[in-house]
Amino acid sequence: MRKRNVTLVALSSLFVVCGCHQAGDTGAGPGTSPVEPPPQTQPVNTANNNTANWRADATVVSVAPGATPACGWGTSPGEARSGVDWRIALTADAISLDEDMRNWPTDDIPYSGHLDGAQFAASYASASNYADFVCQFREATFTGRFTSDSTFDAVETLVWGRPGTQTTVIRRWSGSRL
C-alpha cells in the first residue's frame, strides 16, 4: 500500500510540474500592441515571470487624514515612487489595471472599469471585512487618459477606514508601455 501512495504522489507531482510550464505564458510582453485581448485568468507572477506591460511613476498630491491611518508607500504629500510595474488589458470598452505587479498577488490593487476612447475610469472595492485589517483599502478609483505615444496620465484616490473616520490619499500617475 505504501508503494502505491508514493507512486500516486510522484505522478501527481509530475503532472503539476509539466502543466505549470505553460500556464504562466500569456504571450504578452514587450512590443505588444497597446490594445490587447480581454483579460483572461489572473497571471502567475514569480521573480522570473513579471507579467507587467506598463511602468509608471506616482506622486502623492494630497492626504485628507481621518481617524484611520493610511498605510504603505505613497501616503505623505509630495512622496514619490518610480518604476511601479502595471498589468493593463484593454478591450473596446473595458479596462483592467493591476497596480504593483511585483507584489502580486498579495499587495497589488486590481482595478476594473470602462474605457471610452482614450479616457478610462476604473475602481476597486474591498470585501466587507476590510476594517478587520490594518492596511486594507476600503475602496479606490483610478481615472485617466491614454495618449497616442503609448503613455497615460491618471489620478488615483485611495480610501482607508469606515465612512466618517476615513483617510483619503490622492496620487498622480504617469506611465508608459514597456
Of the ranges 36-50, 70-84, 111-125, which one carries the lowest mean pLDDT score? 36-50
Domain count, the chain: 1
Report yes or no on 43 lying in a domain: no
Q: Distance between CA atoms of 141 and 121, rounded to whole angstroms?
A: 7
Report yes or no on 158 lying in a domain: yes
Residue with the larger pLDDT of the pair 6 and 128: 128
Report yes or no on 32 lying in a domain: no
Give per-residue pLDDT as tens, 35-61.
433 333 344 444 444 689 999 999 999
Report yes or no on 47 lying in a domain: no
> What integer is the mean pLDDT of 121-127?
95
CA-to-CA dists, residue 43 to 88, 90, 108, angstroms: 12, 15, 13
What is the reported pLDDT for 113? 98
CB 165 within 8 A of CB 66: yes
Quote the strand ranges of the chain, DSSP E.
Answer: 54-64, 80-90, 94-99, 109-116, 119-125, 137-146, 151-160, 167-177
Mean pLDDT of the chain: 78
Report yes or no on 1 lying in a domain: no
pTM above 0.85, yes or no: no
Q: In which domain, by residue range, is 63 found?
A: 52-177
> What integer is the mean pLDDT of 18-40?
35
Give per-residue pLDDT as tens, 86-108.
999 999 999 999 999 998 887 88
Report yes or no on 31 lying in a domain: no
What is the reported pLDDT for 70? 86
What is the reported pLDDT for 80? 97
Report yes or no on 78 lying in a domain: yes
- Contacts of residue 176, defined as CB under 8 A and 6 or more positions apart, other chains included, come to 54, 55, 56, 150, 151, 152
Report yes or no on 25 lying in a domain: no
CATH of the domain at 164: 2.40.128
